[in-house]
Amino acid sequence: MFIAPILSSLALALGTVAEAAVVLDTAAAPPQVEAGVPSSESESDFGILPGRWVRPDGGYVITIKSVDATGKLDAAYANPSPLPFAKAEAIRDGKSLKLFFELRAGGYNGSTYTLIYDPLNDVLKGVYFQAVLQQKFDVYFTRAK
């Protein structure tokens, strides 16, 4: 007869403990990041890229106007005439910031730049693949000041 009130009190106490555990568990959980959405750290990594980059061996210019959170670059190329990029993107690969540009116009169809940002020297360096000639060239771009 007195067992029912004890069980009722026990159930109430267990419910309170369970609720407290849920609150503690939620407070301890790390923030969730949506799939495909980079953290603010990677966004700030991309923030170094906008600017006018000049290839000293010919005056070729890559102008990066902006970078979105996914690494898509709003960029243009000039040789010396303006040519649009078919693809322009940046990715974080470990400690490296890599850029990829593809041209699809004016005799450059399929030509690409694969570059890595060198933060110590503030340069973009890598390989230019000239698709028409099927040749690769080591290149670098310096930031125009």
Q: What is the pLDDT of residues 113-135, one digit of tens each?
A: 999 999 999 999 999 999 999 99
Answer whether residue 44 is part of any domain: yes
- Per the structure, the count of domains in the chain is 2
Host domain of residue 108: 40-143
| Residues 76 and 119 placed together within one structural domain of the fold | yes
Q: How many CB atoms lie within 10 A of CB 49?
A: 21
Answer whether residue 63 is part of any domain: yes
| Residues 126 and 93 placed together within one structural domain of the fold | yes
83-116, pLDDT tens digit by residue?
Answer: 989 999 999 999 999 999 999 987 888 999 999 9
| Residues 22 and 47 placed together within one structural domain of the fold | no
The helices-and-strands tally (H runs, E runs) of the chain is: 2, 8
Answer whether residue 35 is part of any domain: no
| Residues 76 and 96 placed together within one structural domain of the fold | yes
| Residues 22 and 64 placed together within one structural domain of the fold | no
pLDDT-based confidence at residue 80 (cuts at 50, 70, 90): confident
Answer whether residue 47 is part of any domain: yes
User: Model-level pTM greater than 0.95?
Assistant: no
86 touches 104 (CB < 8 A): yes
81 pLDDT more than 80: yes
Q: How many CB atoms lie within 10 A of CB 122?
A: 13
